A = this chain, B = another copy of it.
Amino acid sequence: MELTDRKKKVLRAVVESYIATAEPVGSKALMETAGLNVSSATIRNELADLTEEGYLEQPHTSAGRIPTPKGYRLYVNELMEEQRLSLEETRQINEALHLKMQELDKVINEAGRMVSALTNYPAFALAGNARRVTIRRFDLILVDSSSFIAVVMTDSNVVKNKLFRLPAELSEPQLQLLTTLLNTAFVGKTLDQLTPELMRVAEHAAGSSYGLISLVVSFAMEVLDGLEHSSVYTSGTSHILDHPEYQDLDKAQKLMTYLSEEKALTESLALPALNDDGAKILIGPENVAEELKDTSVVLASYDIGDGMKGVIGVVGPTRMDYAKVAAKLSYVADGLAKLFGQTELPPAKPDKEE
């Protein structure tokens, strides 16, 4: 059943006032803020109806109303006005985004920090692969006669390396043989395709340096594994304490602990978002995780390219400023998508030349 226009206006005013103050909202206060030229008694009637229908609730008899999750949901779906970011804010974001392009991990982490600073809520960020990752190539670099660097590149264009120091001697030709072997046997394979049998075959072909095969391959496995179970970065957890709903230390601590548990966070929040595009708002009980049942989450995902996707999100009380947060989050996500979309290389002409 559709709500009347006036009811919607009242609901909206309640939500916005409660978002701003965290205090139950009374009929008198609404008379002024809702912009309807009716008396407080009329508003009381409307409030009673809205309460009846489950959009609002009363913490106790003689208190004002606060929105229920259902109320927030309606607000988010229909009533919320798209927030425009101020010039200053966009400037800030752009500046931060165009910092030097470091390792992916660091950019992700930095994005989380930025979002947290921008919204004053704790934030998290992660990147992951929507698909299985395979190995694209191996390179082995001889450093000296007893150590070498293994470089592994995946088909998602991630490159990782590791330095190996050996108790035994090693020669350039040996290493080249190894490289060829690795590249013929293991390229194009996903993590679970790297079976022990495959290893054994390759080791056999490797002759005297057979032991190295398993070393390098298990490194490659670590790399693939790391890419598929990418880690989450959390930032700004101290912002939890900003909000009166977390005066209750116990509540605050539970949320903090939850946020610091990578696994829980990844599984219940971030991964589901990887496959859904765009922004998403989860209000209170809409969250799967028990710990978040009275907490809201705003998420945005973006494309990194090479089959990878990123997610940034913000966690806060259900009384969250959804409009502002969603706007900021989307803007940052868009910025990141653009950042990753462009070639990593700035036009190759150096601008200083005498």
A214-B161 Cα distance, complex, nearest whole Å: 22
Residues from chain B with Cβ under 8 Å of A257 in the complex = 238
A165 at interface (Cβ–Cβ under 8 A)?
yes
Residues from chain B with Cβ under 8 Å of A102 in the complex = 222
A344 and B164 contacting across the interface, CB-CB below 8 Å? yes
B350 and A210 contacting across the interface, CB-CB below 8 Å? yes
Given A160-B161, A260-B238, is A168 in contact with B211 using a C-beta cutoff of 8 Å? no
A348-B161 Cα distance, complex, nearest whole Å: 20
- Per the 8 Å Cβ criterion, residues 138-171 of A in contact with B are 139, 141, 143, 149, 151, 153, 157-168
Which residue in chain B gives the minimum CB-CB distance to A158? B163
A137 at interface (Cβ–Cβ under 8 A)?
yes
Counting every copy of the chain, the complex holds 2
Which residue in chain B gives the minimum CB-CB distance to A212? B348
Interface residues of A, count at CB 8 A: 48
Which interface residue of A167, A212, A347 has the most chain B CB atoms within 10 A?
A167
Given A149-B159, A249-B241, is A344 in contact with B211 using a C-beta cutoff of 8 Å? no
B163 and A159 contacting across the interface, CB-CB below 8 Å? yes
How does the 8 Å CB contact mask read for A222-253 relative to B, with 1 for contact and 0 for none? 10000000000001111001100001010011
A343 at interface (Cβ–Cβ under 8 A)?
yes
